[in-house]
Amino acid sequence: MHPALGKGNVAVVTGGASGIGLAAARHLAGLGLRVCIADLAGPLLDAAPAALIGAGAAEADVMTMATDVADRTQLTALAEAVDARFGPVNVLMNNAGMQPGSSIFDVEGNWERILEVNLGRVIRGSQIFAPRMIASGAPGMIINTGSKQGITAPPGDPAYNISKAGVKTFTEALQHELRGRPGCQVEARLFIPGFVFTPLTARGRTKKPAGAWTPDQVVDYLFEAIDRGDFYILCPDNDVDRPTDEKRILWAAGDIVANRPPLSRWHPDYGEAFKAWLKK
């Protein structure tokens, strides 16, 4: 087990009141960590402590804090509140996110908020918490939730894709910075879920699609990958296995190397070539 996950250590999970975030918080509580869930105020945040207590956490080892992760002041207040209650943080999971839909000319007016929440919260959360984690001298880990859409960039939701591409690039740079610091015991991981049935992906559905994983399944995979030492935690689901993900990623990178049109996977002149590539 990663040393940051030791019993009695401290974890903060943003976007932790539902979906993947709540499943991760439950998992961490089950390992014996003291856990703070940060999310927007509301019934889901109010109900979250009971889920962690049900996973074996003592009431004294659970805290919640209403936080808008797009607001640096609120993130700073979160860091200070957790330090005052529990002490130095060992695990930070920058997980809060949104996907209301977007178009290239932003007729919905969503771009700024999507970028602030999905990308800005990762940058600000890391910038606020990481120096404190490093200074504590204890083992630490920052888990940033990205997306396959930030790697292969399928058409249809450009703001979300750009935000998640930024998460990938930032987390790579963060890990490079951390591993180059003498004596630093903090490291970063890029969490790349597959199709997971959560409030973010439900889109009006009340029953889990057959192709989707549950939040608990993807969180189990996350911590198994952490135990293996993976940085890129690329998760399969019931529709897409690891070899298919690898081929899609390689094809996307090949657009540059082969000088194909951008997003050639969806280009009418390259559709058959991509299908043949998948069958190899």
Q: Is the pLDDT of residue 27 over 90?
A: yes
What is the torsional sign of CA 278, 228, 24, 116? negative
Q: Which residues contact 208 (CB under 8 A, 6 or more apart)?
A: 197, 214
Residues 227-270: pLDDT tens digits?
A: 999 999 999 999 999 999 999 999 999 999 999 999 999 999 99
- Positions marked active-site: 160
pTM of the predicted structure, to 2 decimals: 0.95
Q: Above pLDDT 70, what percent of the chain?
A: 97
Q: Is the pLDDT of residue 111 over 90?
A: yes
Q: Is the pLDDT of residue 88 over 90?
A: yes
Q: Is the pLDDT of residue 204 over 70?
A: no
Instruction: Give the CATH H-level superfamily of domain 3-239.
Output: NAD(P)-binding Rossmann-like Domain (3.40.50.720)
Domain range annotation of the chain: 3-239, 241-280
Distance CA 20, CA 96 (A): 9
Residue 128 in contact with residue 213, Cβ under 8 Å?
no
SS (H, E, C) 57-120: CCHHHEEEEECCCCCHHHHHHHHHHHHHHHCCCCEEEECCCCCCCCCCCCCCCCHHHHHHHHHH
Token duo for residue 236? 């399969």
Distance CA 154, CA 150 (A): 9
User: Quick one: which of 203, 202, 212, 117 has its CA closest to 159?
Assistant: 117
